[in-house]
Chain A
Amino acid sequence: MKIFFKNYGLLMGLIAILIGIFAIGGIYSRYVTNQHAVLVAEAELSRLEAEQEAARVASYLALFAQGTKVEKYTSETVDKTYNLSGDRGEFSPSIIDSYHIYNGDVEIGVVYVVSSKGHEDGLNIAFAIDIATDTCIGVVVIANAETQTIYSTLTDTWFTQFENFQFDTLSIEIDAVAEATESSKGFEIGLLYAREVYAVEYGFEIPTTNITIVSMTYNYNPDTFANAVFIADVIHGEDNTAVSVYLSRTYDYVGIVGDGVTLTIDEQTVLKTIASASGLVSNKSWFVSYNVDTRVLVMNAKGFKSTPIVVTITLNATLDGIEGIPVITSSETYDENEYGDYAGGPAPEVEYNLINQYLDDGNIVVDGVADATITSNAMKQLIYLLDNFISTLTGDE
């Protein structure tokens, strides 16, 4: 062994050193390379974000014909809550970014990037506001997590309503696309919130009138319920006059209940806005007609599809129950994105499921069908109205 090491020890030692350099140096080199790769990846991400931000800023600037410069700033925090469409509760939007727009050194506009909510969170919209005219001159959608097949129904034409939208409009209302009501509402919430922040930062006065809703209920009168779906008790005018008014399913003013001082046009406009945002009633289902002679009641429920579910009910002779099984016509489809996991049969299975639960025990508390939530909710509302209508006829209410 000694001779072996004497002859080959040096050789083996050098080979060991070379292997050591290869192994330990390789680990060291790999460590340095990996650290560098992380840095490069972060730098690339940072570069990408910077490019995206630059593209966004350029798109904001492009909305202002006279704009020459953009300056990012932190806007005021404004707490505001809005009702989401479809009885989905409330939502508080927030400002993600805000930018002053200049022509030279003169500020001519402001851009608020609002995080709103359509069907999903993350509906981020930039609202460009001309401060000389208090006008929203355009929008840029930064990001959205909406169902794209539905979101795509919001066409360029639809977006034109945000161009030159006067903020001194008494009541802001965005025309909703039937297939994309939740996304449409998300834009409306964003615009309303942008106006709130703009009002705080630029001293803009949001126009308003003195009208308050005391309560809202459904109209069960067969003579009027077809056009006047809701009845709202309101206080209005400088002397706080109390009056009950009819409202349509879309919350448009229909008329006064009985006698009283009619509302002004501005009050009617504001009433529509505050009624639709109040969440006091649902317009998911409504009465269409009632024939006293045949005791046939026709009701509609708005599920997922734009065409409503039609439920035809024949009341019994004593008007305290239902005769036979209602006839249901439905074009609901359960294989839409909304119902991706629905495992039952085709329409109107869900509708019958719910109404049969009600017919079984007369209890309006019925169980919804899994993965068909929107249709279920519409039918629950229909059952609620139906039960109340019967109670009204029998004088129980």
Chain B
Amino acid sequence: MARFANGKAPFLRKTDDLTYGTQVIMRDFLIGLIPLILFAWYKNGIKVYVEGNATLLEMFYPIIFIMLGGLISMVIEGLFFIITDKEVRTLKVMMKKLQLSYAMIPGILLAMILPLYTPIWVLIFGCIMATFVTKLLFGGFGYNIFNPALIGYVAIAFTLMGVINKAGGVLNGSEVLIDAIAGATPLSTLSTTNLLSYQTLVAPYGSLWNFFIGTIPGALAETSALACIISFVWLSARKVIKWFVPVIYIGTVFGLSWLIGIFNGQAGIWFPTFSILSGGLMFGAVFMATEPVTTPKNPLGKIVFALFLGVFTVLFRFIGQYPEGVATSIIFMNIFTMPIDKWTSVIRTQGVTKKTIIKIIILAILIIAIATYALIKANSIYSASIGLPLYIGGWN
């Protein structure tokens, strides 16, 4: 039975209370990170230690690294407050401000999506880019345009990835001993070999079950689809995120990847499954694409946003410098959050009218065009191309 509010409008929900609501959301958000953090510790610390490929000190490194990310972000934000706000002169005041701005979250998220062997100074650099440049310079919590952790990640990826690889890269102490893996993540294997075969992309890492569980090489805390799904269920149940955003995002990548597989002689479901379980797609879909500040507010906008994310992620995987595609597509779409919100609000409130039909058509054409271009780019990479008409192939 529907519940109705009594009394005169406007009606405020409890969660509309800025302080209370945001605090609860952020608390639930942090709780949602716990499965991934624990899995990251298990996979890169405890398991490696038990297998005899790490010392006790190394075992604690993953969890300390993630915590340090949060601490560094807090310190940077604290320093910013002290310098810019004359009222912040005591620890108590500063802590209160830090608590309200959720200072630790960008650093924690950034540490989770970096490779295990990222030097601490690189993490500090990334935290400065995330917290100071992306968040604080734009006005602080609630005013940033881009996802802070992703900007930190991209800044590192474009400038210091060589340093990270030299320091050890993504392979933990056990993975480095597996001959078949040979220093590569599944997506980088796809990127370097351009071989669309199960034996090349999945077999070296065991099976797709390993992809689902997360025992494959990758960034510190983004490899486990299972942990992401647990967090997704928790965050959706707690209404911290809209469930359909990750579903549409991942579903779009799944569908397009399936088409790419079919066009290239791999009709099996393994390739789209591989595509959604590889890299940081699950993590990005659950924690980044749903971020309340930098993504559209209304549901239709979120749907459009997620659809674009899906097609851009597939496109960037085939035309980008890096094999991942998730971070760049989310940052790219952050730019269009406001116009999408505006257009979709009109469509949502006015429905399909003469005035809105053009907007709907434009959005649809854009999505289809980008998706088609992604398919063509993928098709140009794999020699087993069979499906596309010649005149489209000529666009390559």
Contacts and interface: CB of A to CB of B under 8 A. Distances in A.
B45 to A, nearest CB: 10
Contact of B64 (A17, A28, A37): A28
Contacts of A11: 79, 82-83
Contact of A36 (B68, B71, B117): B117
Interface in B61-96: 61, 64, 68, 71-72, 75-76, 78-79, 82-83, 88-91, 94
Interface in A1-47: 6-7, 10-11, 14-15, 17-18, 21-22, 25-26, 28-33, 35-37, 39-40, 43, 46-47
Given A26-B119, A28-B61, A35 B72 contact: no
A21 B71 contact: yes
A78 B149 CA distance: 67
A50 interface: yes
B124 interface: yes
Interface stretch (B51-59, B136-144, B328-336): B51-59
Contacts of B173: 35-36, 39
Given A21-B72, A25-B68, A15 B79 contact: yes
B54 A14 contact: no
Interface in A80-108: none
A182 B71 CA distance: 70
B75 A35 contact: no
Nearest to B76: A18
Contacts of B90: 10
A43 B119 contact: no
Given A22-B120, A39-B173, A43-B176, A14 B55 contact: no
Contacts of A36: 58, 117, 167-168, 173, 176
Nearest to B173: A39
Nearest to B78: A14
Contacts of B75: 14, 17-18, 21
B184 to A, nearest CB: 14
A33 B119 contact: yes
A40 to B, nearest CB: 5
A301 B151 CA distance: 84
A50 B179 contact: yes
A46 to B, nearest CB: 8
B121 interface: yes
B120 A18 contact: no
Nearest to B53: A39
A35 B89 CA distance: 42
A26 B121 CA distance: 7
Contacts of A15: 79
Contacts of B79: 11, 14-15, 18
A107 B176 CA distance: 37
A33 B68 CA distance: 17
Interface string A48-77: 001000000000000000000000000000
Interface in A112-153: none
Given A18-B72, A21-B120, A22-B121, A32 B58 contact: yes
Contacts of B72: 18, 21
Nearest to A50: B179
B194 to A, nearest CB: 24
A32 B117 contact: yes
- Secondary structure type dominating chain B contacts: helix
Given A7-B89, A32-B58, A33-B117, A40 B82 contact: no
A40 B120 contact: no
Nearest to B71: A21
B179 A29 contact: no
A23 to B, nearest CB: 9
A166 B131 CA distance: 80
Given A33-B168, A35-B55, A26 B179 contact: no
B58 A10 contact: no
B177 interface: yes
A39 B176 contact: yes
Contacts of A30: 119
A7 B82 CA distance: 10
Nearest to B166: A33
Contacts of B119: 26, 29-30, 33
Contacts of B121: 22, 26
A25 B120 contact: yes
Nearest to B62: A32
A14 B89 CA distance: 12
Contacts of A43: 176-177
Contacts of B83: 11
B120 A10 contact: no
A33 B53 contact: no
A47 B179 contact: yes
A20 to B, nearest CB: 10
A32 B48 CA distance: 13
Given A14-B78, A18-B72, A28-B64, A35 B58 contact: yes
Contact of A21 (B53, B68, B88): B68
A62 B126 CA distance: 55
Interface in B6-65: 53-55, 57-58, 61, 64
B177 A10 contact: no
Nearest to B174: A39
A31 B57 contact: yes
B111 to A, nearest CB: 11
Interface string B166-190: 0110000100110100000000000
A28 B120 contact: yes
A147 B54 CA distance: 43
A44 to B, nearest CB: 9
Contacts of A47: 179
Contacts of B167: 29, 33, 36
The listed residue with most A CB atoms (<10 A of its CB), out of B75, B79, B89, B120, is B120
Contacts of A22: 120-121, 124
Given A21-B124, A37-B168, A10 B91 contact: yes
**Pairs of residues from A and B, 9 with the lowest C-beta to C-beta distance, nearest first:** A25-B120, A36-B168, A29-B120, A33-B167, A32-B61, A26-B120, A11-B82, A43-B177, A14-B78
17 contacts: A7-B89, A10-B82, A10-B89, A11-B82, A15-B79, A18-B72, A21-B68, A21-B71, A21-B72, A21-B124, A25-B123, A29-B119, A29-B167, A32-B61, A33-B167, A36-B173, A40-B176
Given A21-B75, A36-B168, 20 more contacts: A6-B89, A10-B94, A14-B82, A18-B75, A18-B76, A21-B68, A21-B124, A22-B121, A22-B124, A28-B64, A28-B120, A29-B120, A32-B58, A32-B61, A32-B168, A33-B167, A35-B58, A36-B167, A39-B53, A39-B173
Interface of A: 6-7, 10-11, 14-15, 17-18, 21-22, 25-26, 28-33, 35-37, 39-40, 43, 46-47, 50
